[in-house]
Amino acid sequence: MEDVHDIALRELLDPLTGHLQEELNSARIAGQRVAILLVKSAAIDQIDAAHGFHAGDVLSSEIVKRLRSRALRKHDGIELLSRDEFVCILRPISSEGISMLAGQRILTLLSEPVEFGDKSAVADAAVGISMFPDHGEDAEVLLQRAKYALQSARKNRDRLCYYETEQTSPPIDQLQYAERLRLALDRNTLSLHFQPQFNLLTGRISGAEALLRWKDDVLGQVPPNIAVQAAESAGLVDRLTLWVITSAIQKNAEFQKISPDFTVSVNISPSNLQEPDLPFYIDRALRTWGVKGGTVVMEITETAIMVDQKKASEALNELKSFGVRLSIDDFGTGYSSIYYLAQLPLDELKIDLLFVRGMLEVPNYAKIVRSLIELAHNLDMMVVAEGVENEDIAAALTHLGCDYLQGYHIGKPMPSQDLITLLRAQPASAKKMD
């Protein structure tokens, strides 16, 4: 039997879904894609409770104003789903990447405080995205999928989530994942893939990023993020990272037989920096395989530094004393702070692939990429652009003076044997990319 609430909600939704459906119908005729960005402000509820509904209204209308005037294009639409949920309709939209960039822009705008009376508050927003016709052709289905993505977005570090069909599968059973991961570590059945990095100065592949690959008999292929999450909740992350570092250094000894001074980058989890023995293990692996510290790069994210800044800074300085190079990963999203760049002994900055992938379509992203390259160079850091997916992006980055390129255009992550074949095929001295 239908619930009274269901009927009321549907009546509320009808004008919106009706309007959205009209947009979708004309997009279908024009052969266009449409992105639905559902923005929710968690602060409005709290502000209502603390300062009254009027204050909540001020925040709600300021959000609409900012979205309309500074985040959306003239022809994009915005509709209110409720006082704290806003539906942005972006039409036409060329790719998933661009819809993510728009979501990122919205979040940046909404992180600026709103004044009401003598107080101020931030919207505490998250964005869930669904795409027409990729995720459905019906307005109600697309809104529901954007809502689903929004729920995941609230748990994400960057508060942004694009709907994935796999999200319909039930949430993972942490215990089962932990148990299977322990088994994989015991049986040594995990593996690493290596994604080549192209050095624009020498015109050669001069390094690779090691990326975890876990194909489990029961769970199938488990994405590295999920594997790391399972390891963290099961207290296995130090063991996992240790395995990754040791294996990557061992493989680098092989790569260096073909290409001396070849570098391998490994990803470090935030909690690894709390493990006091990490530098000791790295040092031991370097000695065991006869690899120089300067040819190993540790990639950290800003979250890693923020967990405990003092401890992180100590751990990073100790790593530096073995000559290991330090890189800041996914820079430009999350809680990017220039402060860390100045404070920590960092050697490299990796520009997040969101900016790189969108740089030819969104002029502001090209400007951000350019500024990040300049900033890093001024701080004597090398710059790696991630997510280089085509020739045109590679050419633009070359023009901007980027140092290294990484992305599908250079090469997808591959087994170490394939990288060895690639390195063998490289001419002794290659030409610069122009």
Strand order in the sheet with 77-82: 77-82, 85-90, 34-41, 125-132, 160-162
CA distance 6 to 94: 35
Q: Is 232 in the site for Mg ion (CB under 5 A)?
A: no
Q: Is 212 in the site for ligand C2E (CB under 6 A)?
A: yes
# chain residues binding ligand C2E, by CB under 6 A? 21
Q: Is 387 in the site for ligand C2E (CB under 6 A)?
A: yes
Q: Residue from 18, 223, 323, 401 that binds ligand C2E (CB under 6 A)?
A: 223
Burial of 73 (0-12, 13-18, 19+ CB in 10 A): exposed
Q: Residue from 77, 92, 224, 293 that binds ligand C2E (CB under 6 A)?
A: 224
Q: Is 71 helix (H, G, I), strand (E, B) or coil?
A: helix
**Closest distance between Mg ion and the C-beta of residue 228, in Å?**
11
Q: Residue from 165, 188, 221, 225 that binds ligand C2E (CB under 6 A)?
A: 225
Two tokens at 421?
A: 């074949």
# chain residues binding Mg ion, by CB under 5 A? 5
Taking the least distance from each CB to ligand C2E, the nearer of 85 and 330 is 330
Q: Residue from 62, 329, 348, 403 that binds Mg ion (CB under 5 A)?
A: 329
**Closest distance between ligand C2E and the C-beta of residue 222, in Å?**
10
Q: Is 195 in the site for ligand C2E (CB under 6 A)?
A: yes
**Closest distance between ligand C2E and the C-beta of residue 353, in Å?**
6
Q: What are the contacts of 333-336 at 24+ separation with CB within 8 A?
A: 333/104, 333/158, 334/157, 334/158, 334/301, 334/302, 334/303, 335/302, 335/303, 335/306, 336/302
What is the DSSP annotation of 134-179? TT-SSHHHHHHHHHHHHHHHHHSTTSEEE--GGGGSPPP-HHHHHH
Q: Residue from 38, 67, 127, 228 that binds ligand C2E (CB under 6 A)?
A: 228
Cα 301 from chain centroid? 10
**Closest distance between Mg ion and the C-beta of residue 8, in Å?**
45
CA 234 to each of CA 40, 174, 325: distance values in angstroms, whole numbers, following the listed order = 32, 8, 29
Taking the least distance from each CB to Mg ion, the nearer of 301 and 416 is 301
Taking the least distance from each CB to ligand C2E, the nearer of 110 and 244 is 244
Q: Is 244 in the site for ligand C2E (CB under 6 A)?
A: yes
Q: Do residues 84 and 41 lie in contact, with contact meaning Cβ atoms separated by under 8 Å?
A: yes
Q: Is 238 in the site for Mg ion (CB under 5 A)?
A: no
**Closest distance between Mg ion and the C-beta of residue 300, in Å?**
9
Q: Do residues 127 and 159 lie in contact, with contact meaning Cβ atoms separated by under 8 Å?
A: yes
Taking the least distance from each CB to ligand C2E, the nearer of 55 and 305 is 305
Q: Is 334 in the site for ligand C2E (CB under 6 A)?
A: no
CA distance 152 to 129: 11
Q: Residue from 56, 207, 358, 407 that binds ligand C2E (CB under 6 A)?
A: 407
Cα 285 from chain centroid? 29
340 Cβ neighbours under 8 A, 6+ residues apart? 302, 305, 328, 346
**Closest distance between Mg ion and the C-beta of residue 335, in Å?**
15
CA distance 107 to 116: 20
Stretch that binds Mg ion, among 117-125, 235-243, 297-305, 369-377 (CB under 5 A): 297-305
Q: Residue from 24, 211, 373, 402 that binds ligand C2E (CB under 6 A)?
A: 211
Q: Diameter of the chain by CA atoms?
A: 74
Q: Do residues 73 and 65 lie in contact, with contact meaning Cβ atoms separated by under 8 Å?
A: no
Q: Residue from 99, 256, 267, 269 that binds Mg ion (CB under 5 A)?
A: 267
Two tokens at 371?
A: 């500024």
Q: Do residues 410 and 198 lie in contact, with contact meaning Cβ atoms separated by under 8 Å?
A: yes
Binding mask 269-288 for ligand C2E (x = CB under 6 A): x-------------------
Q: Which residue is nearest to ligand C2E (CB)?
A: 407
* Residues engaged in binding ligand C2E (CB under 6 A): 195, 211-212, 223-225, 228, 244, 267, 269, 299, 329-330, 353, 386-389, 407-408, 413
Residues that bind Mg ion (CB under 5 A): 267, 299, 329-330, 386
